[in-house]
Amino acid sequence: MKKYLSFFRIRFLNSLQYRAAAYAGMATQFFWGGMLVLMYRAFYRADAAAFPMAFQQTASYVWLQQAFLWLFMTWGYDNEIFAQITQGTIAYELARPIPVYSMWFLKQAANRSAGAFLRCIPVLTVSFLLPKPYGLMLPDSIQTLLLFLMTLVLGFFTMLAFQMLAYILVFYTMSPSGVRMVMATAGEFLSGGLIPIPFMPQKMQDILTLTPFAAMQNLPLRVYIGDIAGGELANAVILQLFWLAALLFVGNLWIRRALRRVVVQGG
Amino acid sequence: MIELNHISKTFRIAKRNAGMKEAVKALFRKEYTEIHALQDISFSIGKGEMVGYIGPNGAGKSSTIKVMSGILTPDSGECRIDGLVPWKNRKEHVRRIGVVFGQRSQLWWDVPVIDSMELLRDIYEVEPARYCRNLDMLAQMLELGEILRTPARQLSLGQRMRCEIAASLIHSPKILFLDEPTIGLDAVSKIAVRDFIRQLNAEQKTTVILTTHDMQDIEALTQRILLIGKGRILLDGSLEQLKARNSAVRTLTVEFSGGDFVPVEGEGIHTVQLRSGHGVFAVDTRILSVSKAIEQLSAHAEITDLSVAGISAEELVVSLYEEFQI
Amino acid sequence: MRLYFRYFAIYLRGLMEYRASFVMTLLSQFVSSFTGVLAVYFMMERFHTVEGFTFPQVLLCFATVLMAFSLAECFFRGFDTFSSMLGNGQFDRMLVRPRGIVFQVVASRVDLSRLGRLLQAVVIFCYALPASGVSWTPDKVLTLVLMVVCGMLVFSGLFIIYASICFFTIQGLEFINIFTDGGREFGQYPFVIYGKEVLRFFTYIVPLALFQYYPFLYLIGRSRWRGYMLFPLLSLLFLIPCAVLWRVGLRHYRSTGS
């Protein structure tokens, strides 16, 4: 925890230094969110009956997605880690008293949450102030809000655990570009980053619900807008916990094997 | 050939302070400091001269080179090189100069050097006959041979530097700017590079301006030294003149046994280096004669060996930097 | 032009050294732009039309923008990766060579791996050209060509703006992605679906709609006015402010060297 906080602090201070980057990031998110909301409006006008949820729920989904983009974006990789793997400096990491997996996991968590921390506030505030169907709505109860926060944290961890697999894969391919692009775009699409999962065809939804992808941004965002409740919600949370545990387990096991390879090769 | 008059250049850079509070403040407001990179720089260099341009890091060496090569526009002052103002007549000007940045390659990384040369031929529009002549000459003088067929990224540093120099000369420029040409090279390559530059200057009458931290470059190559510090030209003269200026200083290197020296700091003598059994002292003979100095030293310990030397270029520069406090 | 091919030949020779990684990037570019098509497909399958445009029509629009963008990215990549060129001193080197700066920036960095997206665009065209119900008379073909070519130039103009700002600061440049990546992503649908204000913005400020929406109306026969055919040419006016900004940036760089 202390390590997490010091990573967080460094990253947070660093991102404060780059004020222009912070403004630019905010502008991009407002634009992106606004355009998406307008796009859904066009589809809503085309056929309101085909809409899988209320329009305002969709708008809220979009704004939450933008606000917490830093937590869930699938293309935000740490180039330092890739460099460590491909250039073999990973050996130094092995000499540290903390396992490589935890180290990377913490670093990622800190980097992303520090970025999100600064950027979610203006997006949430402004989108909340937008006129009725276009803005962010409030959750319908305190319980919903608490559930949202819980699934948000778990979803964030699931996302990180998934991303760790990409780093580990690079031990074998030794070239990050292909791995990162395929993992990022596939992950983004399947986790509902391009269009929310409820907008996909029913069959696709049924399958995705069972995968770890549904446990990332999809679950917390839909909890917030009240699109998922009751037994379905309970199942989803159980699945989320399962996938988080499974990904962490597989990642830890796998990285140990990958590291053994490095040691054997004298990496 | 090269004429600089009262060239000045000031940069503004943003201040950054440590700490959370300062970082938040920087989000809204920024403070700037002014850096006087060049202040009233004037000198002239004639055709065929070889000039060493020295000074500590950040003194303004590379800014001056950038002004002369047309990359940087100064705030005020005049600069004429071969009749042209570099930043106004960029294209004509750069046709007549060659620039080697020691730390940055101009060769295309993944292809054999010869391909880079051919592309440069087309960029500079060198006539085929002259290109062949130049390439042959350069390949022979720099012993490039097989190296030309190797991709640049596979070359050793010394081989690459030789190719860099050849690439800068393929269009037979009248002036060659060399920014730290021997940085990181091994001894053999350094000597090869120096020999080549000297030969080039002697045979082609190419004007050479060289920045370096390596005093052996200066000793081996240049008749004239320009010393720059804090954006100003501090000295302009030959190496011999500078040495003569500090000729009163002698270096005493002493081997001794028994006893220990306390660092000697007295009238006309100071300790340069001291470890057990070995000491180096600088003696200003205007104040203290060498024999008096030896007398003083032997009072402290048993001297077993001793040598007296004039000042080296290296020491000269150190003493100049100290003198001007740069 | 001869010199450009010289540069190009050098690039190709270098490429041969990294064939595997090139193919890898090309493929992943191709695959990754596929998810975009899939998203459009899912949306259109659910809603059938948007603002009266059918799925093949939307795809036609999508492919036009994607092709224009990937061509720009491929051949004007120098501006897109300009900050690295400034950072590693490559740009200083260009200044000491007796050729136009813009030419050198363009010629020195071609990136064919970006053609993965172009390939994707071609695939979509293969489906959309016949399926969109357009009868491909010469004037319609010309319209489409103008859309792609002018689109490429407008995207390049955006890259030039990005590069020009690099002269002043390397921070905060992501905002230009709003128009480049944003233009590509949201240009999947004709800009009119986002509403009047957005359409106006993309007509008068950043003229993406001039090569995407208006000629498209003529192309699919929604409008019979032939003037729309030439709207892509109007978008080229955008290059003027781009060029001005570039010059200002260059002057600034040469007076600060930072």
Burial of B35 (0-12, 13-18, 19+ CB in 10 A): middle
The residue extents of the domains of chain A are 2-265
Q: Which of A73, A79, A189 to mutate to test the interface with C (most CBs of C within 10 A)?
A: A189
The answer to whether residue C65 scores a pLDDT higher than 50 is: yes
C257 shares contact with chain B (CB less than 8 Å): yes
The answer to whether residue C258 scores a pLDDT higher than 60 is: no
Please tell me which of the candidates B63, B99, B111 has its beta carbon nearest to residue C96. Answer: B99
The answer to whether residue A140 scores a pLDDT higher than 80 is: yes
Segment A122-149 mean pLDDT: 93
Segment C131-143 mean pLDDT: 92
Sheet with B278-284: strands ordered across: B265-266, B269-275, B278-284, B249-257, B302-309
B111 shares contact with chain C (CB less than 8 Å): yes
Sheet with B175-179: strands ordered across: B97-101, B175-179, B207-211, B50-54, B224-229, B232-238
As a whole-number percent, the residues of chain B with pLDDT over 70 amount to 91
C28 shares contact with chain A (CB less than 8 Å): yes
Judge: C35–A175 Cβ closer than 8 Å, yes or no: no
B71 shares contact with chain C (CB less than 8 Å): yes
Q: How confident is the model at residue A267 (pLDDT cuts 50, 70, 90)?
A: very low
Judge: A16–B16 Cβ closer than 8 Å, yes or no: no
Instruction: Give the phi and the psi of residue B235 in degrees, each rounded to 5.
Output: -145, 150
* d(C-alpha A197, C-alpha A214), whole Å: 8
Please tell me which of the candidates B71, B116, B125 has its beta carbon nearest to residue C96. Answer: B71
Judge: C95–B94 Cβ closer than 8 Å, yes or no: yes
Q: Which two tokens stand for residue A83?
A: 């460099």
Query: Which chain A residues contact residue B26 at CB under 8 A?
Result: 16-17, 19
Other CB atoms closer than 10 Å to residue C141's CB: what's the count?
A: 13
- Tens-digit pLDDT profile for residues B162-172: 999 999 999 99
Q: How confident is the model at residue A237 (pLDDT cuts 50, 70, 90)?
A: very high
Q: How confident is the model at residue C209 (pLDDT cuts 50, 70, 90)?
A: very high
pLDDT at B110: 86
Given a contact as 3+ CB pairs under 8 Å, which chains touch A? B, C
A16 shares contact with chain B (CB less than 8 Å): yes
Give the distance from residue A266's alpha carbon to the nearest chain B alpha carbon, in angstroms.
24
Q: How confident is the model at residue B23 (pLDDT cuts 50, 70, 90)?
A: low
The residue extents of the domains of chain C are 2-256
pLDDT at B259: 62
Q: Which two tokens stand for residue A123?
A: 């997006």
Q: How confident is the model at residue A10 (pLDDT cuts 50, 70, 90)?
A: confident
Domains of chain B: 2-6+38-243 (3.40.50.300), 248-310 (3.30.70)
Q: How confident is the model at residue A67 (pLDDT cuts 50, 70, 90)?
A: very high
pLDDT at B25: 62
Give the distance from residue C167's alpha carbon to the nearest chain B alpha carbon, in angstroms.
13
B64 shares contact with chain C (CB less than 8 Å): no
The answer to whether residue C55 scores a pLDDT higher than 80 is: yes
Would you call A1 helix, strand, or coil by DSSP? coil
CB A216 within 8 A of CB A72: yes
Please tell me which of the candidates B97, B110, B118 has its beta carbon nearest to residue C96. Answer: B97
Average pLDDT, chain C: 91
Q: Which residue of C has its CA nearest to A180?
A: C28
Query: Which chain A residues contact residue B16 at CB under 8 A?
Result: 17
Segment B8-18 mean pLDDT: 73
B143 shares contact with chain C (CB less than 8 Å): no
B87 shares contact with chain C (CB less than 8 Å): yes
pLDDT at A35: 96
Query: Which chain A residues contact residue B23 at CB under 8 A?
Result: 13, 16-17
Average pLDDT, chain A: 89
Give the distance from residue B318's alpha carbon to the nearest chain C alpha carbon, in angstroms.
29
pLDDT at C139: 93
The answer to whether residue B17 scores a pLDDT higher than 80 is: no
Q: Which of A13, A18, A23, A119 to mutate to test the interface with B (most CBs of B within 10 A)?
A: A13
CB B232 within 8 A of CB B41: yes
Judge: A18–C171 Cβ closer than 8 Å, yes or no: yes
C196 shares contact with chain A (CB less than 8 Å): no
* d(C-alpha B47, C-alpha B61), whole Å: 21
Other CB atoms closer than 10 Å to residue B262's CB: what's the count?
A: 8
Query: Which chain A residues contact residue B27 at CB under 8 A?
Result: 16, 19, 22
Q: Which two tokens stand for residue C161?
A: 């703006």
Give the distance from residue C96's alpha carbon to the nearest chain B alpha carbon, in angstroms.
5
Q: Which residue of B has its CA nearest to A21?
A: B27
- Tens-digit pLDDT profile for residues C84-100: 888 888 899 999 999 99
- Tens-digit pLDDT profile for residues A157-181: 999 999 999 999 988 877 777 788 8
- Tens-digit pLDDT profile for residues A193-229: 999 999 999 999 999 999 999 999 999 999 999 999 8
The dihedral region occupied by C189, where left means phi > 0, alpha psi between -120 and 50, and beta the remainder, is: beta
Segment B30-59 mean pLDDT: 86
pLDDT at C141: 95
The answer to whether residue A13 scores a pLDDT higher than 90 is: no
Segment B194-209 mean pLDDT: 92
Q: Which residue of A has its CA nearest to C25?
A: A178
Give the distance from residue A14's alpha carbon to the nearest chain C alpha carbon, in angstroms.
13
Instruction: Give the phi and the psi of residue B11 in degrees, each rounded to 5.
Output: -110, 155
Judge: A195–C39 Cβ closer than 8 Å, yes or no: yes
- Tens-digit pLDDT profile for residues B97-153: 999 987 788 899 889 999 999 999 999 999 999 999 999 999 999 989 889 999 988
